[in-house]
Structure 1
């Protein structure tokens, strides 16, 4: 029996709170794109040196993400998320006092290491609280806060740059200092507000906890999910390896566009503050796409069309943005590209939970996200290199479009691999003594 009242109660308790933390994390991750407009000249950085420094975030993220998520599964989300926030907040503030290129490199790496595990940690936490049919929508609602972060981060970044000279600090220093403080504050809120798992929930009664426990346990059995004795063995699961490579295309396109969008808009000849406000628009479009696409997927019960379709639409918009000369049309296509890049990702993130559970899910989600986010590292080095070779801030969009197209089409390969894995597991699984069909829904 479905309990929408319980789902609503959990949603209202968790999603806005986790989304707020993600909003802060995303601003702290993206603020370097606004600080860049001043700090490059202040620190004597070339475009390539800036790109390397910005991208070192993803190396720290890659190295520490799987251990972080496995450790979180042991100690609980409440304490581990608090640890993540205080370390990334303090590191962000420290970036405001960067003195040279080496210090910039070190702090960007440390920021990635500090934040590692938060996003896949949330994805894992959602598997503890929501049945499968709700997860795409919950991830979509959660990811809307990244769009909000980009939207409000844009004017905040522009306005903080215009504080240049206040208290003897440059504008780019204010960008890091002001955006790092909220993470430190939220550390202490998290310790008092968040519950580790449904069994600990103070806002659910005993009957509601039992319904959720039984529902999730039955679902795991029905979908024949995998749980490895050693969660690190999940890293060798062929489906996890394939999904890790597959996901690279999406962060690559996302970070390639979002990091360089302020630079593109600056080329329109606007001030820093106006640049910030103009950059709100793409993320409003993204927020609408993140709201509606996962809901359409849930309504139809299909996943593949709602990953492939948005990806190909986004790639087409990136290509069109290169070949139009009118700034307004160019910007419209870039808004469409942003929506296409992000809209299918909540549906994509529902795929691992069709075959993983428990600590294996924590490790698998972290592995997919950590490898996939190397796309951000690639974007931060490839995009400036292409810009330097072509002299254009728009030409790199062709590279992003090609990567996004490949990623979208790989969805068919991934879904086929998941189906083959399910079939192989079912052959090894003993038949139900009651004769029940425990296969569950196949990925579509």
Structure 2
């Protein structure tokens, strides 16, 4: 008996290790390119685009946010299509499509064209993020899922750590091929999406049975664990799609996610512009590459915080305070950031905010799969992401609109703080309303 238990433990370890090495880094790379392409506008804006296209701050915010209109409309249909046709084909299709649209930003010539392309980019990207979450949940049992999601989510802060200096380098190539630097940057970040999307078609596998790199014992273990979890959740009606729309927990999670995403995108789209404003506010002088490096500063500690906070959540099991405490910390820190008396102090407080948001996000996504399975998981995860991503439009547009009205960023940041506070309160209210992940011991 002991030998059999030990053997199964070895199979479990090897199966999870192979999934972690073979699938997670590649899906994280796709997410890295995804987040870079959707936020590339934040680097282009203060580095020539707003001037060349004669954009106000509100127009820039609207252009950044209109991406989420198309994204929201097609989010749930896209995720259901992924569930029906398989992740390999659907994620590859999404990536190549958005890469082609992203490439067209190289030649945008007016605010109207910018709005149209941002909307189409959202249409093209619709379903990628919840699809990636769903894909990983179809490969990894619940007790390992939080660690896997944390590794996946590391791609998001690292996108800015690597992407901001990379974008700055591309922008500094101003004049090459007769193009402005910001246009070269758009071209440079779009091409990898097309290439990696094509590779994904051949590289990914839809389910363990399709993975030639797993042994039969590892396939059997994964299939048994995942089927057992689905059976338990389905017995509680988790497999019925309608529960995704009628379960109050799904809507509560949607509101929590709205606040977190509002903070994420207010930071992502306007931090480069805020840093560009240091020159007028503090009398500093930075070149394009310096600004790229400064933009990256908050995100490296955020990646570290994400890793260690999620590691603690993996050891204890995700608790509501793994979401609530970071949200509360972000709510307190972000409004006071712009009252600091130096660039260094401002970036320090913004770093605390970035750490808070990124610490909460991967732990948040460990919650829905505890009570949703099958089509309900596809619809529920997409619904949460859809409602939450309304903030993707609201954050940049409202931030830009209020900035134009008041002339400063202080009030928009208080709005961010208020929504993060709401997320914190609602996260704590989840206590006792979502079950712990199913473990072998529990079975």
Answer whether TM exceeds 0.5 for this pair: yes
Preserved CA contact (<8 Å) 2:327 2:421: yes
CA contact under 8 A between 2:321 and 2:428: conserved in structure 1? no
The number of residue pairs the alignment matches comes to 424
The DSSP-based 3-state class of the residue aligned with 1:392 is coil
Task: Work out which of the residue numbers 367, 370, 376 in structure 2 matches 1:360.
Answer: 376
Does residue 71 of structure 2 align to residue 61 of structure 1? Answer: yes
Q: Structure 1 residues 440 and 368 mapped into 2: Cα distance closer, same or farther (>3 Å)?
A: farther
Residue 45 (structure 2) pairs with residue 45 (structure 1)? no
The alignment partner of 1:164 has SS state of: coil
Question: Which residue of the other structure, out of 28, 34, 37, is the alignment partner of 1:28?
Answer: 37
Q: 2:265 aligns with which of 255, 267, 274?
A: 255
Deviation of 1:225 after TM superposition, in Å, equals: 4.9
Q: Residue by residue, what CA displacement relative to the aligned partner does 1:182-201 show, whole Å, maximum 9, x if unpaired?
A: 01111221111110111211
1:264-284 Cα deviation digits (max 9, x unpaired): 111223221110011221111
Which of 10, 13, 27 is the equivalent residue of 1:18? 27
- Compute the TM-score of the two structures, normalised by the length of structure 2: 0.91
Please say if 1:161 is aligned against 2:171.
Answer: yes
Does structure 2 conserve the Cα–Cα contact (< 8 Å) formed by 1:82 and 1:188?
Answer: yes
Alignment partner of 1:219 is 2:229: yes
1:329-387 Cα deviation digits (max 9, x unpaired): 11101011001011111111111111101121111111101110111111011111221
Q: Show the 5 A alignment for 1:78-97.
A: 78-97=88-107
1:397 is aligned to 2:413: yes
State the distance in 2 between where 1:416 and 1:61 align: 33
Q: Which residue of 2 aligns with 1:274?
A: 290
Q: Secondary structure at the match of 1:129?
A: coil
CA drift at 1:319:
2.9
Cα pair distance change 1:228/1:346, threshold 3 Å: same
Determine helix, strand or coil for the equivalent of 1:343.
Answer: helix
Distance in structure 1 (CA, Å) of the matches to 2:395 and 2:296: 22
Alpha-carbon contact 1:225-1:356 (below 8 Å) kept: no
1:375 pairs with 2:391: yes
Structure 2: segments with no counterpart, 5+ residues: 1-7, 280-285
Structure 1 residues 351, 226: CA separation in 2 closer, same or farther (over 3 Å shift)? farther
Deviates more, 1:388-397 or 1:269-278: 388-397
Note the alpha carbon deviations across 1:384-414, whole angstroms, 9 max, x for none. 1221222223442221111111111111233
**Runs of 5+ consecutive residues of structure 1 not aligned to the other structure:** 423-436
Work out whether 1:410 is the aligned partner of 2:420.
no
- Residues 128-185 of structure 1: CA distance to partner in whole angstroms, max 9, x if unpaired? 1111111111111101011111111111222222222221111111111111000111
CA RMSD of aligned residues (A): 2.0
| Contact 1:264 1:394 survives alignment (8 Å) | no
What TM-score, normalized by structure 1, do the two folds share? 0.91
Change (3 A) 1:377 1:243: same
